[in-house]
Amino acid sequence: MTKTIAILPGDGIGPEIVTEAVKVLETLRDKFSLAIHLESGLVGGAAIDATGSPLPPATLDLAKRADAVLLGAVGGPKWESLDISIRPEKGLLGLRSELKLFANLRPVVLFPELASASTLKPEVVAGLDILIVRELTGDIYFGQPRGIRTLETGEKQGINTLVYTESEIERIARVAFASAEQRQKKLCSVDKANVLEATELWRQVVTRVSRDYPTVQLTHMYVDNAAMQLVRAPKQFDVIVTTNMFGDILSDLASQLTGSIGMLPSASLDANNKGMYEPIHGSAPDIAGQNLANPLATILSVAMLLRYSLNRVDLATAIERAVRQVLQAGLRTRDILGDGQYTVVTTREMGDAVVAQ
Ligand code: ATP
Ligand code: MG
């Protein structure tokens, strides 16, 4: 059956990088008989300009109908003065919560060709391949009570609340254990169980779930230590599972180990592997519209889409191989220039090269 893929380019470099990723999808459709139907929608600032809302009903309807969503990036200086409730970012958060995308998968993989572009020494990152599984719909980002209130003394007080229920922890733990089973069978659960009760419960539930996955070796680590270990000796990790906020911070940190934010894809999945796929970087307003952005994070997000939502591991692997070959051939956008002699290419040239491979 033909699968519908919602294409939401968004703002800034979003349209440029999504154009290249769509070229890859169209090539798979036309040359490899992949049964897909692509349908575009507005989100973020582009949607605000056209309709007044960052997530118009037509886009939400499309995203709900679709088998998968490919998103570019949202936001930019043009919309920064708007109230937080109608900013472009609300479009993204709305999609995550409306589609119940509770599992955020962020592979942190170093392409060997980019070792010299990493922040760390090549020997520390050679062969790096980590999967960060971040819980995406709970934690202090959503817990009540929240807000800023004025005390009787006249002083203001800001409040946010870290909340996790057993079922929320269990479902993300299962995604992480199932991922680890397919990889090196090592799972590190990151929490702050010595100080925060909600994460003490996190540790208890993850430990309980581990009985269903006897082949996976489970360890626990406090988040402060995990941050240090990721920079000190990142290759000790296979899969990391953690809470929404800790995952937010640790995955941005980990992205720098691989050379460029322009290389890293992500998947946000619901309970049925329906997903939204996007690069982890933002809309990069500083280089938007200049044909300079690296489209590889978005193209690698297409590979994740094929792997998780369309069950086409063969085509996912083919895309990842094509990216590798293009890097081997010495093609580089400006953000991934390490030491050495390379052919500096534009966004479009990089996309064309991947399509050709
Ligand atoms: P957001 O709030 O949307 O996450 P941000 O301000 O955190 O945005 P990004 O938009 O991710 O940041 O940009 C951070 C830096 O990385 C910028 O200098 C940008 O040009 C660069 N950058 C981001 N994505 C790419 C890319 N695909 N190719 C090249 N450079 C990129
Ligand atoms: Mg950012």
Q: Which tens digit of pLDDT belongs to each residue from 78-136?
A: 999 998 778 999 999 899 999 999 999 999 999 998 888 877 888 899 999 999 999 99
Q: What are the tens digits of pLDDT across the range 161-186?
A: 999 999 999 999 999 999 999 999 99
Q: What are the tens digits of pLDDT across the range 212-240?
A: 999 999 999 999 999 999 999 999 999 99
In order of 2, 139, 153, 317, the CA distances from 203 in angstroms are: 41, 14, 39, 34
Judged by its nearest atom, the ligand closest to the C-alpha of residue 12 is 1
pLDDT level of residue 147 (50, 70, 90 thresholds): very high
Binding-site residues for substrate, please? Answer: 96, 106, 134, 224
What b/e sequence results for 99-110 when a residue is b if at least 16 CB atoms lie within 10 Å of its CB, and e otherwise? bebbbbbbbbbb
Phi (first) and psi of residue 354, to 5 degrees: -65, -40
Cα atoms in the Cβ-side hemisphere of radius 13 Å centred on 350? 35
CA-nearest residue, atom 4 of ligand 1 = 282
Q: What is the pTM of this model?
A: 0.92
- Asked about 248 being catalytic, the answer comes back as yes
Q: Residue 64 in contact with residue 98, Cβ under 8 Å?
A: yes
In order of 14, 133, 185, 186, 330, the CA distances from 213 in angstroms are: 39, 16, 9, 11, 42
Q: Residue 100 in contact with residue 169, Cβ under 8 Å?
A: no
Beta bridge partners of 71: 8
Query: What percent of the chain clears pLDDT 70, i.e. is strictly above it?
Result: 100
Judged by its nearest atom, the ligand closest to the C-alpha of residue 256 is 1
CA-nearest residue, atom 1 of ligand 1 = 282
Q: What are the tens digits of pLDDT across the range 46-71?
A: 999 999 999 999 999 999 999 999 99
Tell me what pLDDT residue 250 has.
95
Question: Counting every residue, how long is the chain?
Answer: 357
Tell me what pLDDT residue 94 has.
92
Tell me what pLDDT residue 247 has.
96
Among residues 89, 131, 92, which one has the least CA distance to residue 276? 92
Cα 61–Cα 62–Cα 63 angle in degrees, nearest 5: 90
Rounded to whole angstroms, the Cα distance separating 229 from 296 reads 27
Rounded to whole angstroms, the Cα distance separating 162 from 141 reads 8
Tell me what pLDDT residue 220 has.
98
Among residues 242, 296, 233, which one has the least CA distance to residue 131? 242
Rounded to whole angstroms, the Cα distance separating 142 from 74 reads 21
Cα 221–Cα 227–Cα 228 angle in degrees, nearest 5: 95
Residue type, 275: G
pLDDT level of residue 193 (50, 70, 90 thresholds): very high
What three-state secondary structure class fits 188?
strand
Q: What sign results for the dihedral spanned by CA atoms 200, 269, 229, 183?
A: positive
Could you tell me the distance, in angstroms and rounded to a whole number, from the CA of residue 72 to the centre of ligand 1?
12
CA-nearest residue, atom 3 of ligand 1 = 282
Among residues 344, 283, 351, which one has the least CA distance to residue 91? 283
